[in-house]
Amino acid sequence: ANIEISYLLQRMEAYDGVTILATNLRANLDEAFTRRLQFAVDFPFPEEEYRLRIWRTLFPTGVPRAPDLNFEAMAQRFKLAGGNIRNIIVSAAYLAAADGGEVTMKHLLHGTRRELQKMGRLIPEGLERGLAD
């Protein structure tokens, strides 16, 4: 990893332009690396209100949905970025298509579980209770 970081730092110092880097592991950046950055902009996870808007906006209008879909509960219970929400919706749509039906809360929760595991997070005990019966 140090070789890659050294190479990146050399390339950044030699480049006469704007470089944009992104990470979701800011705490893991070493001091020598961050010292060479002129600006660092933090993009926090969206608040519940915005997560709800993201859920509603990203869910495709042509995809059949069960009446039990509760985007409000998903936005409230799961602190996720827009990209994570998109991945969950795509996963749920594929699961529903494989089942031959509409997207249900069960599909959304399955997609959420997968996405949280990819992020190294687990769904706390009982968090799904009352969402998918």
Q: What is the pLDDT along the chain (133 residues), one digit of tens a residue?
A: 678 888 888 898 899 999 888 887 788 888 888 888 889 898 888 999 999 999 999 999 999 999 989 999 999 999 999 999 999 999 999 999 999 999 999 999 999 999 999 988 877 777 677 776 6
Place of tokens 């950044």: 12
Tell me what pLDDT residue 127 has.
66
Check: CB of residue 106 under 8 Å from CB of residue 133: no
Report all structural domains of the chain as residue ranges with CATH numbers, in order of start: 2-35 (no CATH), 48-118 (1.10.8.60)
Tell me what pLDDT residue 63 has.
92
Q: How far apart are alpha carbons 56 and 77 in whole angstroms?
A: 15
pTM confidence score: 0.76
**H/E/C letters for each residue in 43-63?**
CCCCCHHHHHHHHHHHCCCCC
Q: How far apart are alpha carbons 28 and 48 in whole angstroms?
A: 27
